[in-house]
Structure 1
Amino acid sequence: MKTPEGFLFSAVKCGIKKPDRFDLGLIYSPNRLTAWGVFTQNTVQAAPVVLGKKLIKEETLHGVVVNSGVANACTGEEGIQRATKLLEEVAKGLGVSLRSLLPASTGVIGEQLPLEKMLPKVSELVSNLSPERYLDFTKAIMTTDTFPKIAYRSLKNGISILGIAKGAGMIAPNMATMLGFILTDAKVSKDTLKKVLPKIVDHSFNQITVDGDTSTNDTVYMLCSNQKDLKNWEDFEKACLEVAQELAYLIVKDGEGASKVIKIMVKGAKTKEDAKTFAFSVANSPLVKTAIYGEDANWGRIFAALGKTTIPFDFEKVEIYLNGIPWVKNLQVITDEEILRKELQKEVVEIQIKLKEGKKGFEVWASDLTEEYIKINAHYRT
């Protein structure tokens, strides 16, 4: 894999939560970057989100400073000041403007950034930049993640697209606690990014759910180093979407305690919004998710999840398919229970729901719900 030209990476161990793990990362380009961002829709927004929304509008940007361990959310004016101080010190070390760096944080809500641990590590952070250190950066943004999440595509003319993300819990659309970074050496205008990035996010990160909780810190940044002319826009946009979708899939696969990926495909709704509501209602249902985990073909839970949306539909017409195998028709199971159980044992379970109300559809990727999810989140701070 060849990282996009014009990008350097670094990470250091500050001991924010654990003594021997990367927890402060930097993406930097000496070139002027074109950048845009998409942020959480949660009305409780972390300090880095508040700052990021302002700084992303700057014409001269050089990179992103990211920490894990502390979300810097619900921290008031002091949280803004501490985030700004961190950006200021990193900017000094790089010899760039404070306003040319974007912030991002992930971790425990309600705690201030421990600058006494972080600032002494800034000189090390800025002096060890390298295009090869993208994996260290990826490790620095992990919290309950069990593996780094990286996706890559390259085009025929040499343009590269690198995607890096973190996320395993507190994942729901609008956006999913997740952070995502899409980097490319293609030449792209800011106006174009403003149009394209939200569309990419809608068809990737906004189609996943782990637990139905929308984070205070969700951020996706797309950064372009403008090193190479873009000749085929359709191929480029397709590759960017593939990178985002691969990262979204990895987040669901790594859902806290998850043992399976569940693909919910709703077809035949009256409107796309109806289809989306139905799909997420099923995907977020603890009863459906635990049944899939337990390999129990309890189809009644799917019907209940559809009905709780309060959207009118004729449930007697609904057909359900499991991994392409007919499961329910006319409110009757039409396949042997043992066959269905074997399908539910697979790592990827596809549930297709045909409503027969219209022609619109929507697909959501979710994880199952296990005892391990409760253990992880019951002891998240300890």
Structure 2
Amino acid sequence: MVSGELGNSAPAGATVDLPAGFACHVGNMGMKDDTDDVMVLAADGLAAAAGVFTKSLFAGASVRLSQANVADGRVQAVVVVSKNSNVATGEQGERDAANLARRVAEFVGCQPDQVLVGSTGLIGVHYPEGKVDAYFDRLVAAREGALTSRDATAAATAIMTTDTHPKTASASAGGATVVGIAKGSGMIEPDMATMISVITTDAEIAPDRLDAMLRRVCDVTFNALSVDTDTSTSDMVVMLANGAAGPVDEAALESALGAVSLDLTRQLAFDGEGAETLIVVTVNEARDDAQAKRVAKAIVNSPLVKTAVHGRDPNWGRVAMAVGKCSDETDIHQDNVVIRFGDQELYPTPATPEALAELEAYLASDEVLISVDLGIQTSEVGGSFTVYGCDLTDQYVRINADYTT
């Protein structure tokens, strides 16, 4: 389903175009400062659509509205507001989300229930009074030429909050293209989806097939990501397929979607708040994939593992600790476990002092692989899973300590 190949990330300063039949608009609506804070992306007509959303009990008004609007599998537009999450804002927040969908529909030329709404930023703050209507009044009055850009990089930039750079990825599937944008840097430990991502393709596919495909891919990419174990109230991954390129082989389309999603996942992990190192954890020889994922998440989420990597300390005992705290996994036995940093085995065969010195240099790399074999597979294949995270730095504490000030 998801191969090892990544999509094509855009180099710094490069532009990625949306697939044929999609256009976007970005601008400043006045949510916080003078940077772009609103992005509207639209198809030429109704598109097949699918979405996965946070399971947070504090899910925002935008999430609930989008869940309802995507239920029939057909939408035309997506709007994302950054700098304000519209979460825990009561009935006024519900009205604000519905009004935003209505104004975007007026701008695009579709129905309000054909618009998906994303909103990310501070919790518990209402949209500034009158800002949304005033902005869209101007857009509707100057509709000609206002929705003609295909610049996915600009769209990705407009939805950033604490991100340090825009995140885009693209891949091909036959004659079709898949392009994804994403934002996310902190509050990332998905409980169905993670951060905000909008994925577009000009392939033709039925909504139910698209929904199943997106969920399969999310499970091994976005849902394999963790920065800080915290699940956002605004998480959503949505995908639109407008059919402009006609039908393509669905296996090829799923492979392209997987490549784009994995690329974005790795970008998000590497851009974790204050992060300096991408941590990739692979668990093999598990009872099944689900067990491998649970153990891998325990490792990548451990503050002690994260700080060991940041400190360039090849302390494999931190990994053993993380495996050991999976106490419900009663078929894991320490005598069967193998722990490696990179290619170097550390347990049960101890590394030489020379190898440990080399590992200190390895841990200073941009990307560090930690692999664990559980030694309990019950078939030739066994269970395996890879997750993505980052180191824990003092800058993470500073960013979040000062978030509202």
TM range (shorter): over 0.9
Once the two structures are TM-superposed, the CA of residue 176 in structure 1 deviates from its matched residue by: 5.1
Amino acid at match of 2:27: V
| Alignment-derived partner of residue 196 in structure 1 | 213
Where do residues 189-338 of structure 1 align in structure 2 (5 Å cutoff)?
189-310=206-327, 311-312=329-330, 313-329=332-348, 332-334=350-352, 336-338=355-357
| Alignment-derived partner of residue 133 in structure 1 | 151
**Length-normalised TM-score, structure 1:** 0.95
| Alignment-derived partner of residue 145 in structure 1 | 163
Q: Deviations over 1:215-256 (max 9, x none)?
A: 111101110111122232211110111011101111001000
| Alignment-derived partner of residue 17 in structure 1 | 32
Q: Deviations over 1:264-297 (max 9, x none)?
A: 1111222322211111011000011001000011
Distance 1:214 1:286 in 2: 16
| Alignment-derived partner of residue 76 in structure 2 | 62
| Alignment-derived partner of residue 21 in structure 2 | 6
More moved, 333-342 vs 272-281: 333-342
| Alignment-derived partner of residue 108 in structure 2 | 94
Once the two structures are TM-superposed, the CA of residue 115 in structure 1 deviates from its matched residue by: 4.2
Contact 1:268 1:355 in 2 (8 A): yes
| Alignment-derived partner of residue 154 in structure 1 | 172
Aligned length: 379
| Alignment-derived partner of residue 10 in structure 2 | none
Contact 2:18 2:151 in 1 (8 A): no
Secondary structure of 1:170's counterpart equals coil
Amino acid at match of 1:377: N
| Alignment-derived partner of residue 12 in structure 2 | none
Once the two structures are TM-superposed, the CA of residue 93 in structure 1 deviates from its matched residue by: 2.8
| Alignment-derived partner of residue 344 in structure 1 | 363
Once the two structures are TM-superposed, the CA of residue 60 in structure 1 deviates from its matched residue by: 4.7
Contact 2:22 2:150 in 1 (8 A): no
Distance 2:359 2:179 in 1: 39
Contact 2:153 2:167 in 1 (8 A): no
Distance 1:45 1:82 in 2: 15
Amino acid at match of 2:198: F
Where do residues 43-58 of structure 1 align in structure 2 (5 Å cutoff)?
43-58=57-72
Distance 1:80 1:138 in 2: 25
Secondary structure of 1:142's counterpart equals coil
Contact 2:283 2:373 in 1 (8 A): yes
Aligned in 2, Cα 1:323/1:43: closer, same or farther, shift over 3 Å?
same
Contact 1:327 1:334 in 2 (8 A): no
Structure 1 runs not aligned, ≥5 long: none
Once the two structures are TM-superposed, the CA of residue 124 in structure 1 deviates from its matched residue by: 4.6
Amino acid at match of 2:127: L
Aligned in 2, Cα 1:176/1:55: closer, same or farther, shift over 3 Å?
closer
Aligned in 2, Cα 1:176/1:190: closer, same or farther, shift over 3 Å?
closer
Contact 2:53 2:193 in 1 (8 A): no
| Alignment-derived partner of residue 398 in structure 2 | 375
More moved, 176-185 vs 220-229: 176-185
More moved, 318-327 vs 67-76: 318-327
Percent same amino acid among aligned pairs? 35
**Length-normalised TM-score, structure 2:** 0.90
Secondary structure of 1:326's counterpart equals strand
Of 336, 341, 364 in structure 1, the residue corresponding to residue 387 of structure 2 is 364
Contact 2:174 2:249 in 1 (8 A): no
Once the two structures are TM-superposed, the CA of residue 75 in structure 1 deviates from its matched residue by: 1.5
Of 154, 168, 174 in structure 1, the residue corresponding to residue 185 of structure 2 is 168
Distance 1:327 1:33 in 2: 51
- Aligned-residue CA RMSD (Å): 1.6
Distance 1:213 1:14 in 2: 28
More moved, 170-179 vs 40-49: 170-179
